Structure 1
């Protein structure tokens, strides 16, 4: 699910001295975010991230002057938030690393790996800004910096199963009660106090909870596996999604959160030169595409101009999480040349 985003120039930019010039990102949402930026660096397009932005937090991400021209910005909610991944995004695919801080000056490194690409939105920095610019990530609720911080604490408490009432950015009685109880549980100072320590503890606990849930693929084959999955959506209708490139020995989460279905359909393919080894044992056809996709089964693949692949049913029962291992002998041999 993508949220509307808002990008705003800092109104104080005209008065800023060159030494104060900078590019800042400001989180005016109820989500804890991981943010990245793209910019021209000499003769190359560079990307840099991830910066953790607590709800209500603003952070300088480039200390050099924001030159007039185009920048690219992206943010996504931390995995610990319940529900589908939220992102503040656009139409420009750029490279990132999936974990840790990165500073990339070669946009070719992710060309063949869609899991390392994110869709950035464009920001046009004007000459009148004087080298200082701020981009705000926002929600329809139009929070201020303070109310975003409160709403973020409410959302994180709810992610952990605490009763807080509405997520509205108001520090009401239910929120104060839940916050004070959580602080006591974590051994923090008493009272319904919002500070960096409690927000960081909430983020850590929410992420730890989510890490145990979801659908995982693990590659136990000797070559990279390009994987896809088909997830039940409603009666008889599925959504097929891909691709995740999984290196030998690695695992990837392809569905986040507690699983709500008793089965899924799995698919994988190993490329060997010009040949392909596809996952055997398939019993149902779903749509796939050459690039990243999410396709409903309500319409025929040909009518949507997509290809077809035969997926394999995988039963999980009532488990809140599941792992499917790709093993070498699961893949059919490539056709004889």
Structure 2
């Protein structure tokens, strides 16, 4: 299901649960986010043959948060994390050690190896936290191996790009380009100069990233359903299609389009609460066009569209969106 694919766990190839050393579990457990994404995390605790899970804990880039208090005497600690939907295609699920139950919203599940609706299984990785200053610490990290401060800067850069500001490259390094993008964002939003160092900067950036673009391309969802969207852009003479981006009802999403292309190709499809396509009679509620490109149910990035069926892919009709001479363009999904 496309909803599940886009909201997949943080991937081991790009984003991994970092196991920081070893030590006896005898203190509060802190979870630190050294990713360039805002994530939601859940933990699993195994003790005396029983496994419980708890979540969701939102963690901004560079943020540490206490997820267990008191003595941690568990025989095994598990971790699952997922990027928020506004980031579009999340990396593949992390390599894990256990499939445990998670819920929606805040949840505590005492018997997490046998799910009851609406609970679902998610892949958790076993972690062995380190001990520091009398506390246990586990961290989410990506290949760049950011420090807490670098992760915060990279997270700000990533959201600035999604909000339509030029903060490339996303590298966690301060510089004139990033500083100018931050300053322009704060000015545009009427925020004080010190807001970039405050706790609310990620909320402000995420709000901006889900509004119609003043420049570039965006999708806006005017329906009562979530919409899974895909985009294709010409890169080095080839059309590269990427998906899926989840656009919540009443929200907008700006896919990460580098440069200023003269046109993009767009497709969107409404899904219900179970991630299944919404239908009108015998047809899906979808927004596309006549340019046939390859897609698949899971997240994808595809550059070869010659014979989708032979490659085990779906042939999907994308609409052409002309950006020539336009500072911005918005595709609105409407019923």
- Rounded Cα–Cα distance in structure 2 between residues aligned with 1:281 and 1:179: 35
Q: Which structure is richer in relative contact order (CA contacts within 8 A, separation 6 or more)?
A: 2
Q: In the alignment, is the contact (CA less than 8 A) between 2:232 and 2:241 conserved in 1?
A: yes
* Alignment-derived partner of residue 298 in structure 2: 292
- For the pair 1:322 / 2:321, whether they are aligned, the reply is no
Alignment of 1:74-153 (within 5 A): 74-76=81-83, 90-91=94-95, 102-103=106-107, 105=109, 108-109=117-118, 122-125=125-128, 134-144=137-147, 148-149=148-149, 152-153=152-153
- Rounded Cα–Cα distance in structure 1 between residues aligned with 2:146 and 2:288: 51
- For the pair 1:72 / 2:75, whether they are aligned, the reply is no
- For the pair 1:36 / 2:41, whether they are aligned, the reply is yes
**Counterpart selection for 1:238 from 220, 237, 240:** 240
- Rounded Cα–Cα distance in structure 1 between residues aligned with 2:93 and 2:294: 25
Q: How many pairs were matched up?
A: 286
* Alignment-derived partner of residue 3 in structure 1: 14
Query: In the TM superposition, what is the alpha-carbon distance from 1:49 to its structure 2 partner?
Result: 1.6
* Alignment-derived partner of residue 52 in structure 1: 59
- Rounded Cα–Cα distance in structure 2 between residues aligned with 1:4 and 1:259: 26
**Counterpart selection for 1:218 from 194, 201, 221:** 221
* Alignment-derived partner of residue 202 in structure 2: 203
- Structure number, greater radius of gyration: 1
* Alignment-derived partner of residue 330 in structure 1: none
Kindly report the root-mean-square deviation, in angstroms, between the aligned alpha carbons of the 2 structures: 5.1
Query: In the TM superposition, what is the alpha-carbon distance from 1:34 to its structure 2 partner?
Result: 2.5
Q: In the alignment, is the contact (CA less than 8 A) between 2:294 and 2:315 conserved in 1?
A: yes
- Rounded Cα–Cα distance in structure 2 between residues aligned with 1:228 and 1:151: 28
Q: In the alignment, is the contact (CA less than 8 A) between 1:265 and 1:314 conserved in 2?
A: yes
SS in 2 for 1:50: strand
* Alignment-derived partner of residue 24 in structure 1: 30
Query: In the TM superposition, what is the alpha-carbon distance from 1:298 to its structure 2 partner?
Result: 1.0
- Rounded Cα–Cα distance in structure 2 between residues aligned with 1:254 and 1:53: 20
Greater alpha carbon shift after TM alignment, 272-281 vs 310-319? 272-281
Query: In the TM superposition, what is the alpha-carbon distance from 1:25 to its structure 2 partner?
Result: 0.9
Query: In the TM superposition, what is the alpha-carbon distance from 1:122 to its structure 2 partner?
Result: 1.0
1:66–1:33 CA distance, 2 compared to 1 (3 A): farther
Query: Runs of 5+ in structure 1 lacking a partner?
Result: 112-116, 127-131, 189-195, 328-337
TM-score by length of 1: 0.59
Q: In the alignment, is the contact (CA less than 8 A) between 1:68 and 1:125 conserved in 2?
A: no
Query: In the TM superposition, what is the alpha-carbon distance from 1:306 to its structure 2 partner?
Result: 1.6
